[in-house]
């Protein structure tokens, strides 16, 4: 059976975008400092030069906090096709869970359906929270744009982590980006 997304399973039925059925997690946000090896370079061609993820202040602060908190909580969780837990998660499952748990939004479960949500965005116009898609072979891949050319995702090699769009592998496999109708910064803050 050929899959068109990173998950062939669909453990939960698709629901309309921006559903508020999810129960958000309650967190206290603190600055997140990442270890020197936290940014993935699949081809090992790009060296990391910073040890922290810096996001400009002109983008929604609450959304950045939410995504950094999700990264901190899930960092290193191994990749598992069809996975939906900290024992293992695939890329579309991680995106699904992040939007459900952190933003109160229900997205489709697999990449082939997630790529149909929202509106197309040019790479040069990416903003925090946009979905970024890659053609990585038999299965497509998805992550959540963090800004400064970085995105959060479940990597097949290193599990949940932040990677750089500028790394040669991600540049070569980049496909498209989609923008969803996200909650406002005030709504995001209330969910936390």
Give pLDDT, residue 12.
34
* CATH number of this structure's domain 57-183: 3.90.1720.10
CA distance 48 to 56: 19
Give pLDDT, residue 6.
62
Q: Which residues are catalytic?
A: 91, 141, 153
Give pLDDT, residue 60.
64
Pairing assessment for the beta strands 174-179 and 119-121 based on DSSP bridges: antiparallel
Give pLDDT, residue 34.
37
CA distance 108 to 192: 22
Give pLDDT, residue 185.
63
Give pLDDT, residue 25.
33
Give pLDDT, residue 20.
33
Nearest alpha carbon to residue 140 among 178, 122, 113: 113
Adjacency order of strands within the sheet including 174-179: 39-40, 159-164, 150-155, 140-147, 131-135, 174-179, 119-121
The residue ranges of the chain whose pLDDT is under 70 are 1-60, 185-186, 189, 191-192
Give pLDDT, residue 189.
67
Read off the pTM: 0.71
Give pLDDT, residue 137.
87
Question: Strand, helix or coil at 171?
Answer: helix
């Amino acid at each position: 059976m050929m899959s068109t997304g990173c998950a062939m399973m669909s453990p939960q039925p698709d629901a309309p975008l921006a559903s508020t059925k999810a129960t958000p997690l309650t967190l206290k946000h603190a600055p997140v400092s990442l270890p020197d090896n936290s940014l993935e370079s699949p081809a090992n061609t790009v060296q990391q030069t910073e040890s922290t993820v810096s996001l400009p202040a002109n983008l929604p602060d609450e959304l950045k906090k939410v995504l950094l908190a999700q990264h901190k909580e899930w960092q290193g969780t191994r990749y598992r096709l069809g996975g939906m837990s900290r024992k293992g998660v695939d890329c579309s499952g991680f995106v699904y869970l992040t939007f459900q748990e952190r933003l109160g939004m229900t997205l489709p479960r697999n990449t082939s359906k997630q790529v149909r949500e929202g509106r197309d965005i040019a790479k040069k116009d990416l903003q925090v929270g946009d979905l970024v898609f890659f053609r990585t072979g038999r299965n497509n891949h998805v992550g959540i744009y963090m800004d400064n050319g970085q995105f959060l995702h479940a990597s097949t090699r290193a599990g949940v982590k932040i990677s750089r769009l500028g790394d040669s592998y991600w540049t070569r496999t980049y496909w498209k980006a989609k923008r969803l109708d996200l909650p406002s910064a005030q709504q995001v803050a209330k969910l936390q």
